[in-house]
Chain A
């Protein structure tokens, strides 16, 4: 176990709705990254938070947004849900934001959009 937890484990929403996913990072880690994993694909980077500030963003539209709190836990918010948003959403925490830092993944939240 990595010590990274995510909630909820599963979620079903309908098109147009909004969703909030939560992540608690491993103790002592100040950096959280979010990834989207479609079925049969590798995880794709959404964005990263470092000490409560967005530190980088992948090729995702602005309706994907996030927050990091003073205790370094994090939220991923998705507005105006589309069918293609159905995926496993993973968060990963690392000790620092540098490229050679190991990222530890949580179990993920599986989102189904109908």
Chain B
């Protein structure tokens, strides 16, 4: 089955800095890679996703890159703000719409 590794497990940055979270996956058939943000006591919220026919996607301060050859994808957040503090999960999906998640990255943005 699919295995998703996520790094780092914790990330502390100063407000205004950039943050990068990296994930690798094992199943070459995976073709959909969403990123979710989870705040304390809440369910995961989709922030951006990328499909296998695209190498990069950007939405305002958030971007995701995908390298299918190396089987890794990354989340980039620029100009971080304190409200970006949360746990971020990467995930991968192949076949039917079931997701395999990484273990999460706790992002802390200090003012």
When distances are taken between beta carbons in the complex, the residues of chain A under 8 Å from B89 are 42-43
Contact A48 B101 (CB under 8 A): no
Q: Is the CB of A43 within 8 A of B32?
A: no
Question: Known contacts A42-B104, A43-B99: does B36 contact A105 (CB below 8 Å)?
Answer: yes
Instruction: Name, among A43, A48, A96, A99, the residue most crowded by chain B CB atoms within 10 Å (CB to CB).
Output: A99
Q: Which residues of B contact A22 (CB under 8 A)?
A: none
User: Contact size class for A?
Assistant: 20 to 34
A2 and B37 CA atoms in complex are apart in Å by 13
Please list 16 pairs of residues, one from A and one from B, whose beta carbons are closer than 8 Å in the complex, sorted by A's number: A33-B97, A42-B89, A42-B104, A43-B99, A45-B99, A92-B99, A98-B96, A99-B31, A99-B93, A100-B31, A101-B32, A102-B34, A105-B36, A106-B43, A107-B42, A108-B43
Contact B100 A48 (CB under 8 A): no
Which residues of chain B from 76 to 99 have a CB within 8 Å of any chain A CB?
A: 89, 91, 93-99
The verdict on A74 contacting chain B, using a C-beta distance below 8 Å, is: no
B contacts with A: majority SS: strand
Asked if residues B34 and A103 are in contact (CB atoms below 8 Å), the reply is yes
Q: Would A42 and B96 be within 8 Å (CB), given that A102-B49, A107-B43 are in contact?
A: no
Closest B-chain residue to A90, C-beta based? B43
Q: Which of A17-69 contact B (CB under 8 A)?
A: 31, 33, 35, 40-45, 48, 50, 55-56, 58
